[in-house]
Chain A
Amino acid sequence: MSDQLYQEQIVALAKARTGAGKLANPTKSARRDNPLCGDRVTIDVRLDGQGKIAEIAHQVRGCLLCQASASALSSIAIGRDAVGIAAARHEAERAVGREEGGAAGPFAAFAPVAAHKSRQECVLLPFEALKDALS
């Protein structure tokens, strides 16, 4: 079961660490904790004049799924505003089976998480942090 969960694409996303780190001068930052497992995500964003993400960085103290999700999110975040990030979240929700339909883009890699309900929050935690940062 878990061998299927930790497929190459997910492991590769986590190892890529896209956007890992901090921004020197973020417009906004937000931190989210998952009280159940202790995972913690901090996201910094620098916004342009239209409220679109010009730069993003994340620090994850969490599991591989959370790291992979933060990495995937950072890879598609530039140029998006809150509405664009909400659309990406729908992709992630579809990937993990919380919404109907298939997922596209990097979030398709999270399809194996659909069979592991207890781990779905790990994938969605970076979205929660980014939502707070953009609100």
Chain B
Amino acid sequence: MSFDVRAVRSQFPILSEIIDGRPVHYLDNGASAQTPDAVLDAVRTYETTGRANVLRGVHRLAERATDAYENARTEVATFLGVAPMEIIFTGGCTAAINLVAYSYGSLLKPGDRILLSELEHHSNIVPWQMLRARAGIEIDMVPVTVDGRIDLEKLPELITPRTKLISLAHVSNVTGAMVDVGTVVAAAKTVGAKVMLDGAQKAPHGPIDLPALGVDFYAFAGHKAYGPNGIGVLWAKAELLEAMPPFMGGGSMIGRVTFAETTWAPPPRRFEAGTPPIGPAIGLGAACKWMRALDWTGAHAHEMMMVQHLMDGLQKIDGARIFGPAGLQNRYPVVSFMLDGVHPHDVAQTLDSFGVAVRAGHHCAQPLMDRFDLDGTTRVSMAPYNDRSDIDALLTGVRHAAKTLR
């Protein structure tokens, strides 16, 4: 049976909105995805029937809140194929990477090396530069091929015995290319380095089998994965979390506090200081459960059909060029393009007048833009609820921009 996109769309209230007389063609999912009823309902249930702080209260509302919060942790763990106690709720994907850079980073010695790639989001570059300034570590960078993939052929020459961590985007937020994780993990093992993946653009496309990937850290954002804002996830192997010191201090993350000395709670609480984002975590748990129930074989085929339709359409527009893989293999539905003679922001602004939402600019990947001397790109990022009418509306808008703005 083919993928029923209408059934998926019907679960997202915003997709039936009419804004300024136009339907919503939402193709900015890479920045923030929309949210289904299942998530909205879960958050509303918490806020209206179980709102309280977690962990410390003995009253019934506190118990409901704690149960819902810990169930959310279990849902996220199931989504990633790991143990709940290895799941840390953070404020977002950026916060998760910063947690690793600060906490795992504090275990590194001057001269130790971190390996990143040229296509990383700033959130997987800047925390390491800050660590470099604090701790004297070194940063190496894997270059990118002309079709927007991390050039893994260069890995062996960049890995050294001092390489302690390789941290890469699982899927590029600019080109949609997926990294070959097996090759990265195998290379890391030759020197005993750990591997972290920034899963911000991968998690929204279905459950992930982390044990099969063989990585050590994984981070993703709730709001890009159909969940609420203000919530993200860090997963790390239990033995790594055990060895890592806290990132932030405060309530909930302690064993015992005296003015002389404080001991730490075990993970995951060690890394969840203060009142966590309870409602958002519950919403993200619901989003993971919603994603697990979706037919991802059908959804991925549907997404790739849209990518092909988009590429075919862009090819027919004079001066439109795709930046990223030309094929459908090992890629996800994030497609960047340039329109010669028209700045990406002007393309995006024109598309808005057609009811089409996309992102334009450097996509928080300025080193990648510099490498290819780009002012920016226009980025189309899709979700399973998008359909051909969204792509058709976009192509109409791009043709209009090409005709009127150059």
Whether B362 lies near A38 (C-beta < 8 A) is yes
Whether B353 lies near A63 (C-beta < 8 A) is no
In the bound complex, residues from chain A placing their C-beta under 8 Å from that of B20 are 1
Q: Compute how far the CA of A37 lies from the CA of B360 in the bound complex, rounded to whole angstroms.
A: 8
**Contact pattern, B 142-180, Cβ under 8 Å of A = 1, otherwise 0:** 000000000000000000000000000000000000000
Q: Is A135 an interface residue (CB 8 A)?
A: no
A residues 56-92 with Cβ under 8 Å of B?
Answer: 61-65, 67
A residues 87-119 with Cβ under 8 Å of B?
Answer: 116, 119
Other-chain contact of A63, B345, B352, B362, B404 (Cβ < 8 Å): B345
Other-chain contact of B405, A1, A36, A37, A64 (Cβ < 8 Å): A64
Q: Compute how far the CA of A3 lies from the CA of B361 in the bound complex, rounded to whole angstroms.
A: 20
Q: Compute how far the CA of A37 lies from the CA of B349 in the bound complex, rounded to whole angstroms.
A: 13
Whether A61 lies near B375 (C-beta < 8 A) is yes
In the bound complex, residues from chain B placing their C-beta under 8 Å from that of A64 are 342-343, 346, 405
In whole Å, how far is B401's beta carbon from the nearest beta carbon of chain A? 9
Closest A residue, CB atoms, query B360: A37
Q: Is A122 an interface residue (CB 8 A)?
A: yes
Q: Compute how far the CA of A106 lies from the CA of B400 in the bound complex, rounded to whole angstroms.
A: 26
Whether A6 lies near B361 (C-beta < 8 A) is no
In the bound complex, residues from chain A placing their C-beta under 8 Å from that of B230 are none
Assuming the contacts A3-B353, A6-B346, A62-B343, asked whether A37 and B376 have C-beta atoms less than 8 A apart, the reply is yes
Q: Compute how far the CA of A8 lies from the CA of B344 in the bound complex, rounded to whole angstroms.
A: 19
Q: List 10 A-B contacts (CB under 8 A).
A: A2-B353, A3-B353, A6-B349, A11-B404, A37-B376, A63-B343, A63-B346, A116-B349, A119-B345, A119-B349
Given contacts A2-B353, A5-B349, A38-B361, 6 further A-B contacts (CB under 8 A): A1-B20, A3-B350, A62-B375, A64-B342, A64-B346, A65-B345
The 5 closest A-B pairs by CB, nearest first: A2-B353, A63-B343, A63-B345, A38-B362, A64-B346
